[in-house]
Structure 1
Amino acid sequence: MADPEKLFKVNVVTPDGLVFSHRCSLVEMRAIDGQRSVMYNHLPLLTPLAIGEIRVKRSREDNETVNHIAVSGGYFEFSDNVATIIADSAERSSSIDVSRAEAARKRAQAAMEEAKASHDQQSLERAQVALKRAANRISVYNSSN
């Protein structure tokens, strides 16, 4: 069990409100420049996030719980042992509707093919982002099960 003094607060916030709030021992994320991990007393940090998974390791009395959260970019800030993740969208793995995510992946793939055929670069870029978001949600769901 982690020492209670070695835990810090983590909050995940979207425009729709608070998605996640717990005390934890470690947060792992993908920043736009690579993988990052933050523990208690880390130096202050502000970094943009890539589409990816946030892993929050929470300590309980006899076992360690890991929460998986899919985010579609945003920002990570750490200061005074409080981690704040501000994202356009964030979804806990337990809330992910995998069939809906799979349908979104198929729609994005079809939109990519259509954009390639019509040489529409802007539509292609939007479809690629949609595909990354859908694939991320599926991956986060699978990594937690």
Structure 2
Amino acid sequence: MTEAVTEAVTARVHAIHVAPGRRLPTKSVEQVEAEAGAGLVGDRYHGTRHRHVTVQALDDLAAASEALGRPVDPALTRRNITLTHGPIPTRPGERMQIGAVELEVVRIAAPCRLLDDDLGPGAMQALRSPRGGTVFRLLSSGTISVGDEVGTG
């Protein structure tokens, strides 16, 4: 009798997006500086108390695409970091590490009305929990780059 061996595939950063201001389009970057207690340098939420970075996963976007009936472009969801796959921690206090940067869950990210404007009618509903990602605070500083490994625990 042979034993099936399952190998866990490590999630990685697929894309990074920042927006310089509220309601402004996000721009794709290869890396971003994460500042503990402040957020992503160059992003609209840098300097806020708790909402430092938002994280989503491609498999959740695929489920949203299926519900919506059309593709969901990660750049248009207004989330900062897109991972190759989930799951993404969602309970307040849970932690995740991206590269050398440690993050702590604040809450599940609620989709905003801008999604219907940017992705079309129904997008906000298609990206409701659990597909909309998670809001984190930054516990440590460092550079987050596309391709970085993700750890949870």
More helix by share: 1
Q: TM-score, normalising length from structure 1? A: 0.25
More strand by share: 1
Higher relative contact order (CA 8 A, sep 6+): 2
